[in-house]
Amino acid sequence: LFDTVLQGKQALGPKNANLFIEAVCAQPDPVNCISMIVESKAGLSSIQSVMRFDLSLSFFNGHAGNLIGYIQAPDLKTIGGGSFLNDIILKIVEPPIFWTPFRKAFQAGSLKENGQKAFAWLLLQLITLPRTSESSYIDLAKDTTIIHRIVASSSLDTRTIGQKIKHVLETQSSGLSIDSEHSPGGRHDNDFVDFRQISILPTADEILSSERAFYRPSAWLEDPKTEGTRLGDYIDNQFRLLREDMLYEMREELQIALKKKKGNHRGFVVEGLKLLDVHCGNEDKRSKWGITLECEHDLWQLKKLSAKNRKIHLTNNRNIVKHQSLVCLLVDDQVVAFMTVNRDEDLLARKPPVFILQLEREASTVGVLLKLKIAKRIKLIQVDTAIFSYEPVLKALQGIREMPLSPELLFWTKDSVLECPPSLPKKIIQALKANPLQDLQGLIGTPKSIILDQSQAESLISGLAQRVSLIHGPPGTGKSFIGALLAKVLHDTTRHIILIVCYTNHALDQFLEDLLDIGIPQTSLVRLGGKSTPRTEPFSVRNQKTGSNLGKSDWKVIDELKKQCDNLRGRLQRAFLKYKEANVGYQEILSHLEFEDRDYFDAFRVPMSTDGMTRVGKKGQAVGPNYLISKWSNGSDAGMFKQHARILKASMVWSMAPAARRAQISKWKLDIQNEEVATLQAIARDYN
């Protein structure tokens, strides 16, 4: 059939149209198949015809969706510069005999997963076609109800397409390139052009995405053409590369935990959880808001312990449910979000134990709470990735707007001239240049006699005389020693603070001890971090004496903030209780429609009796305010009111198909739940 149709030997009609679609989709090589269709005499017209014979929902969700899915093969974009694929797409949608009812079916919520993905993909292609860039397709994509339905789909592929549509619309309005493969933004719901909008922790869609993350090659940053944007590009790239390191570890851990990859999962897995309440810490010590989840079963580490010993065991074993550890939340076997554990030993010691989870990404809150409300199965998987070692650096990168030393680090050329630092120990530099091999004890005041060799002296001079200096060499050649000498000179001759950064605690302690040995007093040093040695422990930051510099006005501000915090905490608890117990019925829908969609509200408003009589329905019960919306949602007509002027005026509403009515009811319920959860989230944001 495939060959005879393309050759023009067999005509297509309603009886064999679906067979032709099946024949197309059965071709093993999409590139070769589409090439044959485009180049054959009857190919394009055949594609146009088979999409017009049947305009039913079963066709949209079945054969039409399958054909559109077939032409989504990535290689099709490369043949003929994408023109072959564009020709096929335009034959499908123009004239809009197929496209218009297909669009209406999507808007009515009648399409299933296959049809939804097909519609979303077609729309994405249409808004990126050069000849349709200013057409009605752009306006359609901007329709918030359309894009919301796409990005809220249960299918990850459809949601990903929705993010690409949003990205295209944003970049078109800003004039940027919309080449999604070679530019940032649009791969998923956490991929943005501006890296400062990217959440540090990934979203569920991001971690499940198979698309390669965006980052620039080093050659881009060295290209003279990029000099104007190099600083921003560099910071952007550092952020994306470091974050991708973190995500790689997370993906590996999660795949092992989900048994998609072999290996030993290092964290805990807890199933059978139940949503309890909102948590804001104790009265004497408030914390960021979180949700509490109660376990169905006890933690295996606590099973044999008495009530008295459970908390003691947790206090002595802090690796059991580590504080601030990362967990993946699964609802009904679907990855929903990544959250952090707020370790509360009193709650964990309960029987059954209770977890406190904090949502780090504000944008995920609404979706997570909506899914938890209807959850049948809740599961936690600990992801043993050292987020704490990445997060502070990533947040700092997002806060950088300018970079010191960028002339040397980013814009250096062979013609560049070295700049001198603002505080220059000229006398010491001149003395070293005059006699590099002299004893430094008298020059810089070291406790012992020090004589450098020629290369060490040159390194010391460059470190003092240049804004940026790199000292490298094999082990034992004196790199750390020169560093200690530099620190000694800068400490004694300037008032600047010196920041020392080492890769490990051991290396830091070793260097700090070198500074003590070189003559820098302990009172000039403050060590940050843990795991110090006996010599460096005394000047650890936690051992420094601190005093309160707060005055009466400061305490007044603090007291006022505490009052605001308590007020918001109360509102948050009430909003959470309302969210948890709320059940959206007809009355709630009518209240929603009164302000959001007056046409529907008027169609469902029960007419008042004009003769003082009480109208009754079946079983002699009085007709209540929910009579019409109940009839409508069940697929019936307006019953005793079907000839009423207001009902006749709302014929568009009352002529809707049962499936479209059910979809509309579901949409209204979701809208109402969204409003409730959005209110909760706004209070939670203010509380935090």
Distances (CA, A) of 211 to 68, 138, 188, 373: 20, 25, 9, 31
pLDDT tens-place string over residues 573-627: 999 999 988 888 999 999 999 988 899 999 999 888 766 666 776 766 778 889 9
Average pLDDT of 97-122? Answer: 91
Higher pLDDT, 266 or 23: 23
Q: Is the pLDDT of residue 653 over 70?
A: yes
pLDDT tens-place string over residues 301-334: 888 888 889 999 999 998 889 898 889 999 998 8
Q: Is the pLDDT of residue 266 over 80?
A: no
Residues whose CB is less than 8 angstroms from the CB of residue 671 and which lie 6 or more positions away in sequence, other chains included: 592, 596
pLDDT bucket at 374, cuts 50 / 70 / 90: confident
Q: Is the pLDDT of residue 25 over 70?
A: yes
Least confident among 191-200, 315-324, 357-366, 652-661: 357-366
Whole-number pLDDT of residue 350: 93
- Beta strand 285-294 with 326-331: parallel, antiparallel or unpaired? unpaired
pLDDT tens-place string over residues 180-231: 566 888 888 888 888 888 999 888 888 888 888 888 888 888 888 888 888 8
Structural contact between residues 119 and 107, judged by C-beta atoms closer than 8 angstroms: no
Structural contact between residues 539 and 526, judged by C-beta atoms closer than 8 angstroms: yes
Higher pLDDT, 27 or 129: 27
Average pLDDT of 18-26? Answer: 90
Whole-number pLDDT of residue 131: 57
Radius of gyration (C-alpha) of the chain in whole angstroms: 34
Whole-number pLDDT of residue 190: 87
Whole-number pLDDT of residue 137: 86
pTM over 0.95: no
Share of the chain above pLDDT 90, in %: 43
pLDDT tens-place string over residues 578-587: 998 888 899 9
Mean pLDDT of the chain: 88
Whole-number pLDDT of residue 503: 87
Structural contact between residues 114 and 61, judged by C-beta atoms closer than 8 angstroms: yes
Distance, CA of 498 to CA of 478 (rounded, Å): 20
Q: Minimal CA–CA distance to 33: which of 61, 81, 60, 67? A: 67
Whole-number pLDDT of residue 174: 45
pLDDT bucket at 262, cuts 50 / 70 / 90: confident
Alpha helices (H) along 230-306: 230-257
Q: Is the pLDDT of residue 106 over 80?
A: yes
User: How buried is 5 (Cβ within 10 angstroms: 0-12 exposed, 13-18 middle, 19+ buried)?
Assistant: buried
**Angle between helix 144-151 and helix 156-174 axes, rounded to 10 deg:** 140
Backbone angles phi, psi at 486, to 5 degrees: -60, -45
Average pLDDT of 31-55? Answer: 87
**Which strands sit side by side in the sheet containing 285-294, from one edge to the other?**
269-270, 378-383, 326-331, 334-341, 354-359, 285-294, 274-282
Distance, CA of 68 to CA of 114 (rounded, Å): 10
Structural contact between residues 326 and 378, judged by C-beta atoms closer than 8 angstroms: no
Whole-number pLDDT of residue 130: 67
Whole-number pLDDT of residue 620: 62
* Helix-strand-coil split of the chain, %, nearest 5: 55, 10, 35
Q: Minimal CA–CA distance to 328: which of 244, 376, 256, 280? A: 256
DSSP-assigned states of every residue in 147-185: HHHHHT-S-HHHHHHHHHHHHHHHHHHHT----TTSSSS
pLDDT tens-place string over residues 337-356: 999 999 999 999 999 999 99
Instruction: Provide the residue type at 506 as one letter.
Output: H
